[in-house]
C-alpha cells in the first residue's frame, strides 16, 4: 500500500511535472552536436530480462544510441509500446525543440479490436501527426497508417523491416530423420492462432510434433487460455504430440528455434513480427498466413505462404489444411528451405544497416535537413 501511494503521489507527479520537461529543457540549454535519444522509458530492460515486441527494438538501438534521460534532443517512440506519459512527453519535447521520431507498427481496426479501435487510432494519429520522421515497419504498416489514421506520411519516412542480431541468432544444423518439430511462438492474443496450429497437426501423421510457446492472452488469465488449448488438443486427439510451454526470455529464443524444424505462423495480417526474422536467422523455414507484412518478410526460398484473406472487419483464419500441405512441402525439400531462410535473414533483417539508417535519420531531423 505504501509503495503504491508513493508512486501515485510522489514519483509520478515528479516524473510528469519536473523530470519530463527537465530532460528536454537541458537538451536545449546545453545543446549537443550529436543525437541524444530518449526512448520514453527511464530504463530499457537488459537482454537477460523479460522483454518482447517494441521493447526489443529499443534494446537494439540503445546499444548504439544510449537512452539519454537528461539533455535529450530526440524522442524515439514505438507505436506498439507507448509509455503512459506519451502525450506529455511529445508536448514537452516539441516545446523545447526536440525532434520526434516514430516507429510505426500496425494500427487498430474492428477485426483486431472490436471495441475501442477508433479511440486507439485517434491517439496514434495525434502522435503520428507530430512526428518529424516516421519509420514504418513494413509497407503494410505504412498503408494501414495512411488509411486508418487518416494521416499523410511526413517528408522524412522510411520502411525498415524489424531487425535481428545475426550473431546471436545463428544457423543450426537440424536432423529431420525422426520427429519433425513445428513451433508456434509469440504472444497468442487470439485463440484461433493456437487452434489453427492444432488442426494443422491433426492433419499430419504421427512423425510431426508441435511446441506451443509464449503468452496465452485470449482469455481472462493465461492459465485459463492454456487449459482451453489443452482441451482443443484432446478434442483433436493430438494431445500426445503437443507440448505447451509458457513465456520465454529473449535470451532463450535461439535455443527454442534451434530445437525446432519449422516455424508455424498462423496469425493473419501480422504487420512485421520480429519473431519471424529471428527464426529465419537460425535457418528455420516459416510456413505463414500470407497476409499483412509477412509476404514482405519471407522469400519464396525461405518458406511457404498459405492463402489468407485481408479482412479488417472480421478475423478470417487461414485454412489449416493449407498449412498442412505447406508444412509437408517444406519438409520434402528441407535443406534448401533452411539455407534460404538464413539468406533471407541476412538480406532483409541485418541489425547493423537498420541501426545505421536510424542514425542517418536522427542526424537528419536534428539538423533539419
Q: What percent of the chain has pLDDT over 70?
A: 93
Residue 366, pLDDT above cutoff 50: yes
Report, as an integer, the average pLDDT of 277-294: 97
CA–CA dist 65, 68 (Å, integer): 8
The whole-chain average pLDDT of the chain stands at 92
Full strand arrangement of the beta sheet holding 156-159? 37-38, 74-78, 99-104, 133-136, 156-159
Q: What percent of the chain has pLDDT over 90?
A: 77
**Stated pTM of the model:** 0.91
Q: Which residue has the cell 525532434?
A: 99
CA–CA dist 243, 209 (Å, integer): 8
Give tens-digit pLDDT for 305-355. 999 999 999 989 999 999 999 999 999 999 999 999 999 999 999 999 999
Give tens-digit pLDDT for 4-23. 655 554 555 556 666 778 88
Residue 187, pLDDT above cutoff 60: yes
Report, as an integer, the average pLDDT of 244-252: 88
pLDDT-based confidence at residue 51 (cuts at 50, 70, 90) = low
Q: Which residue has the cell 522510411?
A: 158
User: Contact, 267 vs 190, CB < 8 A?
Assistant: yes
User: What is the grid cell recorded at 248?
Assistant: 520465454
Which domains, from first to last, does the chain contain? 26-162+350-367 (3.40.50), 180-348 (3.40.50.2000)
Residue 87, pLDDT above cutoff 50: yes
Query: What one-character-per-residue DSSP string does 284-329 give?
Result: --EEEEESTTHHHHS-TTTEEEEE----SSS--PPPHHHHHHHHHH
Amino acid at each position: 500500500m505504501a509503495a503504491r501511494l508513493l508512486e501515485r503521489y510522489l514519483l509520478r507527479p515528479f516524473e510528469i511535472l519536473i523530470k519530463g520537461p527537465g530532460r528536454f529543457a537541458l537538451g536545449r540549454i546545453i545543446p549537443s552536436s550529436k543525437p541524444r535519444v530518449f526512448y520514453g522509458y527511464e530504463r530499457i530492460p537488459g537482454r537477460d530480462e523479460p522483454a518482447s515486441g517494441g521493447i526489443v527494438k529499443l534494446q537494439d538501438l540503445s546499444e548504439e544510441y544510449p537512452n539519454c534521460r537528461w539533455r535529450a534532443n530526440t524522442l524515439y517512440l514505438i507505436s506498439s509500446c507507448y509509455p503512459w506519459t506519451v502525450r506529455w512527453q511529445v508536448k514537452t519535447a516539441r516545446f523545447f525543440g526536440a525532434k520526434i521520431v516514430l516507429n510505426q507498427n500496425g494500427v487498430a481496426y474492428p477485426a483486431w479490436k472490436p471495441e475501442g479501435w477508433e479511440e486507439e487510432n485517434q491517439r496514434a494519429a495525434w502522435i503520428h501527426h507530430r512526428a518529424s520522421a516516421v519509420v514504418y515497419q513494413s509497407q503494410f504498416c505504412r498503408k494501414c497508417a495512411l488509411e486508418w489514421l487518416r494521416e499523410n506520411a511526413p517528408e522524412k519516412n522510411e520502411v525498415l523491416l524489424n531487425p535481428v542480431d545475426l550473431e546471436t541468432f545463428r544457423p543450426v544444423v537440424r536432423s529431420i530423420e525422426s520427429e519433425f518439430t513445428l513451433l508456434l511462438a509469440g504472444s497468442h492474443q487470439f485463440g484461433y492462432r493456437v487452434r489453427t496450429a492444432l488442426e494443422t497437426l491433426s492433419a499430419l501423421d504421427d512423425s510431426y510434433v508441435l511446441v506451443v510457446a509464449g503468452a496465452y492472452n485470449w482469455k481472462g488469465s493465461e492459465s485459463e487460455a492454456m487449459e482451453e488449448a489443452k482441451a482443443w488438443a484432446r478434442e483433436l486427439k493430438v494431445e500426445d504430440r503437443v507440448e505447451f510451454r509458457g513465456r520465454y526470455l529473449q535470451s532463450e529464443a535461439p535455443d527454442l528455434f534451434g530445437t525446432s524444424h519449422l516455424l508455424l505462423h498462423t496469425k493473419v495480417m501480422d504487420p512485421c513480427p520480429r519473431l519471424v526474422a529471428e527464426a529465419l536467422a537460425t535457418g528455420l523455414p516459416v510456413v505463414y498466413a500470407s497476409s499483412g507484412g509477412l509476404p514482405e518478410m519471407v522469400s519464396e526460398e525461405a518458406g511457404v505462404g498459405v492463402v489468407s484473406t485481408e479482412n479488417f472487419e472480421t478475423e478470417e483464419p487461414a485454412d489449416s489444411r493449407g498449412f498442412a500441405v505447406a508444412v509437408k512441402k517444406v519438409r520434402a525439400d528441407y535443406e534448401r528451405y533452411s539455407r534460404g531462410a538464413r539468406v533471407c535473414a541476412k538480406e532483409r533483417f541485418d541489425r547493423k544497416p537498420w541501426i545505421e539508417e536510424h542514425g542517418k535519420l536522427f542526424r537528419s531531423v536534428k539538423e533539419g535537413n
